[in-house]
Structure 1
Amino acid sequence: MSQGDERGYGGSEPGNRNDDTYSTLGGTRQTRTRLPGGDDGDGYSRRPARNSRSLIMAVGVVVLLIAAIAFANQGGGGSSNRDDTKKPETAGAGPTAATGTKPVQGKNGTIASGFAHDEQGAQSAAANYAVALVSAEILQPDRRSDIVRQIFVADRVDELEARFNQAYDKAFLDKVGLDEKGQAAPGMTYVSRTAPVGTKTSTYSDGSTTVEVWCTGVFGTAGIGSTNPVSNDWFTMTLALQWVDGDWKVDSFSQKDGPAPVNTDRTASNAEEIAKAAEEYGGFTYAR
């Protein structure tokens, strides 16, 4: 997870936010979001300076999470660029206007599935999979196995499931304030919510593609006395996808920091407001 910085997926180990050896990116395109109905509220004000002790503790937890994810993805056999791959023809960022192609309708558990067998479908798959890989559920043993099996190609499932289980062991969960089931203490709410900002492809063929997903998100534990306060993060996840059994699946992934905008001086919400928002606002299905 980049659970914020907490979720760093990177390099050959989940958690190390370096480019992974089998991903080279270029190309373009952004992601259009299907929004559920509902009214949004605003309300902006100024942000006070964050307590330096809380900031240091939050950064420490983020580093731990990055290291854990890197370990889980360690030793992954990546997909190399194939001779039959081709570069996307477009060079600039594509608009977010509707393409005329229906967004994905299927669901595999709570994760979107049944993506189109084209570049657009691959980008949509990558955006949805990035959200799942950087979620609070990935820290929950009861949900982790389902997520791994829904997202990854079959021959990578057992290896990655074992590595995730080892990375997110009891000792790790204790450090981020969660119990053995990945749940926060009474009165606390663990938040790990990712929102893709855009996607682009570097290579594409009928059988494989590499997609980069630019994301932002909020991560941490909301509650009085939390030593891991909820903060935001910006990161880019690279996913190498394969077309198998009528859908796009992940063969390997990595994560790196940024690009990150300048922070505003908006006042941070209190723990109760953050916890309420995490519980009341649902997630999205992403498609162009």
Structure 2
Amino acid sequence: MSLGDDHQSSGGYGGTGQTRTRLPDAGGDGYGGPRRTGRSSSRSLVTVVGVVVLLIAAIAFANRGGDDSASSDDAADKPKTSATTPSGTQPVQSGFAHDQQGAQSAAANYAVALGSADMFDKARRHAIVDTVYAPDVAASRQADLDGAYSNQEFLANIGLDKNGKAPAGQTFVSRVIPVGTKVTASSTEKATVEVWYTSLFGLSGGKSTNPVTESWYTTTYQLTWTNDDWKVADFQQKDGPVPVGRDQRASTADDMTKAVEEYGGFTYAR
């Protein structure tokens, strides 16, 4: 598993600051969403998962009540669904560049990976953690994350079963969408990068009691240059900046489900 950038190092340490966006590969949803804890989660759980703040502290569910969505049985009104068309070309082929731009790309893509629905699958989670974290911290992170994602109270609070699966007829949504990045400190072997992002999290479907909600966060990543690539050594998360919401009508549960199914998540964020 590789989450690196395919551009080569620009030589000196201090990239161009240009932003690049790549389409997703054939992996479908890739690594895209945030995390949150249910309102009744205990402080002890938050302590156990302190290392995965992206998951537990991220989502504050808004109790919007039921949604009178249109019936999905009407085939005439239901478009043919497909994930974002894969190109067959992997967007990531090598490690991130050894400069500031490479560090920003690494941080943005790691945020996408750590905030994705794939983190609720044990095998995929282990692959992500082994790829994202520095080798000397990956093992401890793995244990903390396994404990968090297998916690029955946590899973129940967000509407998933003991295996992290959504109820029949509902779709679990967990995606992180980076808005921007900023390097606040850097050296040859270390970099501190802030990633500002919005996230989608919840269950879409006519009977969902935890509808998909939007939240805004900034995560600061401490990155270290290890084995010719940027890896996460530690991170901290805070709320916002949060923009003023427009007076837009929320979509029906059926429309939200269609959107999630038809629009594949990005696997390469910057």
Question: Which residue is 1:128 aligned to?
Answer: 109
Question: Which residue is 1:286 aligned to?
Answer: 269
What is the CA-CA distance between 1:157 and the residue it aligns to? Answer: 1.1
2:164 corresponds to 1:182 = yes
CA contact (8 A) 2:37 2:158 kept: no
Once residues 206 and 213 of structure 1 are traced to their aligned partners in structure 2, the CA distance between those partners, rounded to angstroms, is: 20
CA contact (8 A) 1:31 1:196 kept: no
Q: Residues 1-288 of structure 1: matches in 2 within 5 Å?
A: 31-35=19-23, 61=38, 64=41, 71-74=48-51, 105-106=91-92, 114-171=95-152, 172-284=154-266, 285-287=268-270
**Greater shift in the superposed pair: 237-246 or 139-148:** 139-148
Once residues 215 and 71 of structure 1 are traced to their aligned partners in structure 2, the CA distance between those partners, rounded to angstroms, is: 24
Once residues 60 and 158 of structure 1 are traced to their aligned partners in structure 2, the CA distance between those partners, rounded to angstroms, is: 23
Alpha-carbon displacement from aligned partner over 1:31-63 (angstroms, at most 9, x marks no partner): 4423469xxxxxxxxxxxxxxxxxxxxx97268
Alpha-carbon displacement from aligned partner over 1:183-212 (angstroms, at most 9, x marks no partner): 101101010111100000111111110100
Cα 1:253–1:142, aligned 2, differ >3 Å: closer, same or farther?
same
CA RMSD of aligned residues (A): 2.9
Query: Structure 1 regions of 5+ residues with no counterpart?
Result: 1-27, 38-58, 76-103, 108-112
- Tell me the SS of whatever aligns to 2:38: helix
Once residues 60 and 129 of structure 1 are traced to their aligned partners in structure 2, the CA distance between those partners, rounded to angstroms, is: 20
Once residues 189 and 17 of structure 2 are traced to their aligned partners in structure 1, the CA distance between those partners, rounded to angstroms, is: 20
Paired residues, what number? 207
Question: Which amino acid counterpart does residue 286 of structure 1 have in structure 2?
Answer: A
What is the CA-CA distance between 1:229 and the residue it aligns to? Answer: 0.7
Once residues 68 and 214 of structure 1 are traced to their aligned partners in structure 2, the CA distance between those partners, rounded to angstroms, is: 25
Alpha-carbon displacement from aligned partner over 1:107-144 (angstroms, at most 9, x marks no partner): 5xxxxx51101000000000000011111111222321
CA contact (8 A) 1:240 1:251 kept: yes
Cα 1:261–1:246, aligned 2, differ >3 Å: closer, same or farther?
same
- Percent identity among equivalent residues? 48
What is the CA-CA distance between 1:249 and the residue it aligns to? Answer: 0.6
| TM-score, reference length from structure 1 | 0.65
Alpha-carbon displacement from aligned partner over 1:207-248 (angstroms, at most 9, x marks no partner): 110100000121111112211111111110111101111111
Once residues 71 and 30 of structure 1 are traced to their aligned partners in structure 2, the CA distance between those partners, rounded to angstroms, is: 38
What is the CA-CA distance between 1:68 and the residue it aligns to? Answer: 5.1
Cα 1:130–1:159, aligned 2, differ >3 Å: closer, same or farther?
same
CA contact (8 A) 2:159 2:166 kept: yes
Question: Which amino acid counterpart does residue 140 of structure 2 have in structure 1?
Answer: E
Alpha-carbon displacement from aligned partner over 1:1-36 (angstroms, at most 9, x marks no partner): xxxxxxxxxxxxxxxxxxxxxxxxxxx957442346
- Tell me the SS of whatever aligns to 1:209: strand
Question: Which amino acid counterpart does residue 210 of structure 1 have in structure 2?
Answer: T
Alpha-carbon displacement from aligned partner over 1:45-84 (angstroms, at most 9, x marks no partner): xxxxxxxxxxxxxx97268499856632459xxxxxxxxx
CA contact (8 A) 1:115 1:247 kept: yes
CA contact (8 A) 2:39 2:157 kept: no
